[in-house]
């Protein structure tokens, strides 16, 4: 009966990809991420979705089909594990866990948009599922961190709690655990992406109250009873970054370790998640090396309850290849032709710390283009797409424009429109 708690798509994905507590080398071996992607592509080509694989007619067709290098007998054997699925789901739900498949409506869109085919087919979790879609600041760092690094971490997460910024981390000893426990202790929210033993972590005393209060969500892309492995720990790093709007590396070694590997992977492959590093005080050499690879310097204290704005301003940038400018080379050189939003964004195209006056200049430079787009009502998401900037940045600018009376916010549905009486 508990199977009905899952969507048919998720049931099919679990049958193909889940180990159900067994060693993943047990026959038939569950599909890896790349193997599942091959199956998904085959389904798309044939105008089908995962739940269609539960149909006996499709299974018969599958036995005569070729999907990459996958053995059709293996696929059918995996799909025939219905009894194992029933037992596993009953066990997981009795432990308070839930399961999301890549086709579920509540599956975090951040992961799909940023990781695409690297997004995990299955997410196991416990806690407030809505926190997965709130974005926030990912905070990571080495297990071995000094007092200065820990103190800095606590100050950051306290500010996050005060400003309502969700904190995403990995829950490992050191910076990760300190950031999660720190933000929870100050009344904030957090998402923990664990690499092993989700079922045990979910009932740990240090997390129990926050889960019950809806302020903490723990997830894993591995079997809830999986033991620790270095490969799993490395593999989950991209999901920490993928759930976030921004990321902060508090401490990192050079060229080795999970923090370094995760940060360099994110810099190279997850282009729309700005990676910041701590550079002040006794910051390790690894942090400065990450700066050379494309990370940004984290805004300097004091943040004065404007950390979200500082992060948005420091990360708002656009590549020159996206510029669409008309006019002669002479006109562009002499500033006669101005790129609309790109000019404002280029003001912060630097790892150097921005101050409040610069943030004000950026807002004032962008405002005319916001107002032009708001001749007719638009919601924040649509406006962000029109101007090719992040939704969180648009929301900050709109909030300021509403306070100034230059933009009116409507309800049912929520939208924004320029106040033409003041223009």
Average pLDDT of 191-210?
A: 95
pLDDT value, residue 360: 53
pLDDT of amino acid 54: 94
Residue 107 lies in a domain: no
- Within this chain, do residues 141 and 256 fall inside the same structural domain, yes or no? yes
Give the global pTM: 0.75
386 belongs to a structural domain? yes
Name the percent of the chain lying above pLDDT 90: 63
Pick from 226-235, 284-293, 296-305 the range whose average pLDDT is largest.
Answer: 284-293
Do residues 22 and 135 both lie within one domain?
A: no
Residue 195 sits in a domain of what CATH number?
3.40.50.450
Picking from 77-81, 151-155, 414-418, which range would have the lowest pLDDT averaged per residue? Answer: 414-418
Residue 313 lies in a domain: no
Mean pLDDT value of segment 184-188? 97
**Pairing between strand 98-101 and 137-140?**
unpaired
186 shares a domain with 52: no
> Residue 91's pLDDT is what?
93
User: 334 lies in a domain?
Assistant: yes
Q: Which of 94, 109, 142 is the last residue of a domain?
A: 94
Would you say residue 331 lies in a domain? yes
Domain identity same for 181 and 33: no
Query: Is 398 domain-assigned?
Result: yes
- How confident is the model over 305-315, as a mean pLDDT? 84
Q: Are residue 322 and residue 383 in the same domain, yes or no? A: yes
| Cα maximum dimension of the chain | 73
pLDDT band at 421 (very low <50, low <70, confident <90, very high): low
pLDDT reported for residue 88: 94
φ/ψ of 192, rounded to 5, equals -110, 125
Distance CA 165, CA 181 (A): 14
pLDDT average, residue stretch 181-206: 96
Same domain, 326 and 286: no
What local confidence, expressed as pLDDT, does residue 346 receive? 45
Residues 146 and 244 in one domain: yes
- Write down the pLDDT at residue 386: 80
* Total residue length of the chain: 423
Mean pLDDT to the nearest integer, 208-214? 96
Residues 241 and 276 in one domain: yes
Residue ending a domain, among 73, 94, 115, is 94
Average pLDDT taken over every residue of the chain:
86
Compute the average pLDDT of residues 19-24. Answer: 82
* Helices and strands: H and E segment counts in the chain: 20, 11
- Specify the pLDDT at position 396: 83
Same domain flag for 404 and 290: no
123-156 burial, b for 16+ CB within 10 Å, e for fewer? bbbbbbbebbebbbbbbbbbeebeeebbebbbeb
Tens-place pLDDT, residues 269-295:
998 899 999 998 889 999 999 999 999
List the end-to-end C-alpha distance of the chain, in Å, as a whole number.
61
Q: 394 pLDDT exceeds 60? A: yes
Does the pLDDT at position 169 exceed 90? yes
How many domains does the chain fold into? 3
Averaged over 392-412, what is the pLDDT?
87
Asked whether residue 19 falls in the same domain as residue 132, the answer is: no
Distance CA 79, CA 159 (A): 48
The Cα–Cα gap between 134 and 165 comes to: 9
* pLDDT of amino acid 21: 82
Using the 3D structure, point to which of 243, 267, 298 is the last residue of a domain.
Answer: 298
pLDDT over threshold 90, residue 158: yes
Long-range residue pairs from 22-28, CB within 8 A, at least 24 positions apart, any chain: 27/77, 28/74, 28/77, 28/78
Can you read off the two tokens belonging to residue 370? 């916001």
Question: Do both 36 and 89 map to the same domain?
Answer: yes
What is the domain-level CATH number for residue 409? 1.10.10.10
**Nearest in space to 92 (alpha carbons), one of 210, 2, 183:** 2
Q: Domain span at residue 32?
A: 2-94
Burial of 57 (0-12, 13-18, 19+ CB in 10 A): exposed
Is 247 contained in some domain? yes
Shared-domain flag, residues 237 and 291: yes
Q: Is residue 310 part of a domain?
A: no
């Amino acid at each position: 009966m508990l199977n009905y708690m899952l969507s048919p798509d998720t049931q099919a994905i679990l049958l193909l990809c889940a180990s159900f507590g067994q060693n993943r080398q047990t026959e038939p071996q569950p599909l890896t991420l790349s193997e599942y992607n091959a199956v998904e592509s085959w389904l798309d080509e044939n105008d089908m979705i995962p739940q269609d694989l539960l149909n006996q007619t499709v299974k018969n067709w599958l036995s005569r089909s070729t999907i990459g290098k996958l053995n059709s007998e293996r696929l059918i054997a995996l799909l025939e594990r219905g009894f194992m699925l029933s037992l596993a789901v009953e066990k997981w739900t009795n432990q308070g866990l839930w399961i999301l498949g890549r086709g579920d409506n509540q599956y975090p869109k951040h992961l799909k948009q940023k990781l695409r085919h690297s997004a995990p087919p299955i997410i196991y979790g416990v806690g407030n599922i809505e926190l997965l879609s709130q974005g926030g600041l990912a905070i990571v760092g080495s297990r071995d961190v000094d007092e200065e690094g820990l103190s800095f971490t606590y100050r950051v997460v306290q500010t996050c709690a005060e400003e309502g910024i969700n904190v995403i981390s990995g829950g490992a000893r050191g910076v990760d655990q300190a950031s999660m426990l720190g933000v929870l202790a100050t009344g904030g929210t957090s998402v923990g992406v664990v690499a092993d033993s989700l079922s045990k972590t979910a009932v740990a005393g240090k997390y129990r109250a926050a889960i019950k209060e809806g302020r903490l969500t723990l997830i894993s892309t591995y079997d809830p009873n999986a033991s620790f492995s270095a490969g799993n720990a490395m593999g989950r790093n991209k999901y920490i970054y993928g759930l976030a709007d921004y990321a902060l590396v508090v401490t990192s070694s050079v060229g080795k370790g999970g923090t370094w590997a995760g940060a360099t992977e994110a810099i190279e492959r997850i282009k729309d998640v700005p990676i910041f590093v701590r550079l002040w005080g006794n910051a390790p050499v690894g942090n400065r090396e990450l700066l050379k690879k494309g990370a940004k310097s984290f805004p300097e204290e004091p943040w004065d309850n404007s950390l979200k704005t500082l992060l948005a301003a420091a990360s708002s940038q656009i590549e020159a290849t996206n510029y669409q400018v008309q006019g002669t080379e002479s006109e562009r050189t002499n500033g006669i032709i101005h790129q609309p939003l790109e000019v404002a964004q280029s003001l912060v195209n630097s790892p150097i710390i921005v101050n409040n006056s610069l943030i004000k200049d950026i807002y004032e430079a962008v405002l005319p283009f916001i107002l032009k787009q708001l001749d007719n009502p638009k919601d924040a998401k649509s406006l962000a797409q029109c101007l090719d900037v992040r939704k969180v940045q648009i929301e900050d600018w709109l909030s300021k424009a509403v306070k100034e009376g230059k933009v009116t916010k409507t309800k049912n549905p929520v939208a924004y429109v320029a106040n033409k009486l003041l223009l």
